[in-house]
Structure 1
Amino acid sequence: MKSIVNILTALCISVWLTVPCFAQPSEIEPVQDITTGQWHLSLNTGLGVITNPLAGGGDLPLVLIPDIAYYGEQFFFDNGRLGYSLIQDSPHTFNLVTEFNSETRFFVDWHPSNIFAFRSESSFTNSENELQIQQPSLDISELDKRKWALDAGLSYHYNYQQHVFSVQALADVSGVYDGWRSALQWQMHKNIGELQIKPTIGIWYKSAALNAYFYGVTEKESPVRAIEVGSSWQPYAKIDARWPLNGANSLRFHLAYYDYSALADDSPLFEQTYSLTAFIGFDHIF
């Protein structure tokens, strides 16, 4: 029993700190309907998964996912993101924010399935006219550990009726990868009867320094040569739905798609060109 509790605890912590079930920390607006000066705590229980697009990386099951937030007059904490509101002039909001870079979620050790085929072969095909060198396929078990990185920057939200438009730019302040990332996002809050729906569409820009650190390959890691990865655009789409059962409980559904095709063209670490987050279950507010 103790081992089961430890596994579930590690799973909750890993999901909360790296990639919350319902959004990456930097892709969410302030949680709605939170009383200023009071903690918001809820627990989602159900079935779900975060798929890992990297070779040798196990998918992460979602069973228990906490949702923790606190909003003061200016300081706030929202699922791992710490911020300070510079301007709260409705419909405009400017925030200073800091959070752990979420790319590390694909390299964490807390996966239930982390034993995969060891693939590090390099192929040489000798033809009459040329020597072709195929890029070796690598899995993340062969790589040096990617460190946790702390990012900080600015975010801006514009609210118009049921729509929220967001812009943000974050840079590494921990000296881990010395790069930056930025995002544009649109989200709508829609009620259809009692059903609450939040569709989201956005796109990330990630610098070459960020991609090279997380998804590039050094000379030490590659049996043939180092592999550089340039900057990329990463679109994503999500839909979140909630059906209230009573004041504290609701049914919860979430589906998110993150496109990594631009990186998969350059990096040998990718086995899939996308990552999916899917969850269905119950949300209980304490």
Structure 2
Amino acid sequence: MRFYFIIILLISLSFNAQVLAQSDEPVDAHISTEQLHLSMSIGAGVITNPLYGADNIPLVIIPQIAFYGQQWFFDNGRVGYSFKQTQQHNLSLVTELNPESRFFIDWHPQNIFALKSASSNNQFTQLETDTSPQQININNISKRKLVLDAGISYSFVAEQQMLSVQALHDVNSAYNGWRAAIQWQYHGQVGNLQLKPTVGVNYKSAQLNDYYYGLNSDETLLGKIVVGSSWQPYAKIDARWPLSKANALRFHLAYYDYSAMDSSPLFERHYSTTAFIGFEHTF
């Protein structure tokens, strides 16, 4: 039991670290190599879960760990190998956990120890008594797996701006699909306030969306539901106010649009937001 608790803790920390570290884009070409980058943010925040029956994900303690060698690197759960790395260009092979998994991981002990059968009829009972049969609780469907994705990531850095693109495919053949993203980020400063506004759009294949947000015929009386591919925009802003060389105040706000998933009855809201404010210490 202790082993599973450690695994769950590491996965949770990995997801939380990616919230502030923004590891979905390639590394800034100016980061120092052969040096461990370690910081800890403590504060209050939340990732809102847009699915029916799902809990929001609290953000309290967020570690950030990165190490860059000459070619290999680790950045908050993202592992990669850089084929080309200059002041302006970075081309890497990367691998990371699929971020959609975070909406389906439920940390309540009752869901770990509860005696559930794969042939349970709970979903049918819920559908018969629900006032809106188009709303499906995620606790009444099959569990979605953690998925490891791998692919190519490229970034172009020009002065204070960075444009990045990536395309990843699942490694363990859970959904046999792929996802891609294009993102623009600006690194600016107003007085002592350091700002990083970000805008981008995610592309997700039909196989990915159907695996996470579609439904099989044995999961609902509505029959099999497919979602199809989607383009989903997002926007973020990250702010940092240095208090000393090692300490700073940290603020992060992000909005992810899921309106393209309106054909899935799993969604209670067609967006997810992330908000965090706290104190950051760099070791």
TM-score range, shorter chain: 0.7 to 0.9
Distance 2:258 2:187 in 1: 27
The yes-or-no answer on 1:121 pairing with 2:127 is yes
Counterpart in the other structure of 1:4: none
Which residue of 46, 50, 55 corresponds with 1:53? 50
Counterpart in the other structure of 1:130: none
Contact 2:26 2:154 in 1 (8 A): no
5+ residue gaps, structure 2, are 112-122
Counterpart in the other structure of 1:89: 86
Distance 2:93 2:224 in 1: 36
Deviations 1:59-79 (A, max 9, x none): 011110000000000000001
Distance change >3 Å, CA 98–CA 10, structure 1 → 2: closer
List structure 1 runs of 4+ shifted beyond 6 angstroms: none
Q: Larger helix proportion, structure 1 or 2?
A: 2
Distance 1:11 1:98 in 2: 19
The one-letter code sitting in structure 2 at the alignment partner of 1:262 is A
Which residue of 209, 212, 217 corresponds with 1:211? 209
The yes-or-no answer on 1:139 pairing with 2:137 is yes
Question: Shift of residue 211 of structure 1?
Answer: 0.2
Contact 1:24 1:102 in 2 (8 A): no
Q: Name the Cα RMSD after superposition.
A: 2.6
Question: Shift of residue 152 of structure 1?
Answer: 0.5
Distance 2:8 2:45 in 1: 12
5+ residue gaps, structure 1, are 1-6, 124-133
Distance change >3 Å, CA 98–CA 11, structure 1 → 2: closer
Question: Equivalent residues in 2 for 1:105-120 (5 A)?
Answer: 105-110=102-107, 120=126
Question: Shift of residue 34 of structure 1?
Answer: 4.2
Counterpart in the other structure of 2:190: 192
The yes-or-no answer on 1:104 pairing with 2:110 is no
Report the TM-score, using the length of structure 1 for normalisation: 0.86
Distance 1:113 1:44 in 2: 29
Distance 2:175 2:149 in 1: 10
Report the TM-score, using the length of structure 2 for normalisation: 0.87
Which residue of 39, 42, 45 corresponds with 1:42? 39
Question: Shift of residue 15 of structure 1?
Answer: 3.4
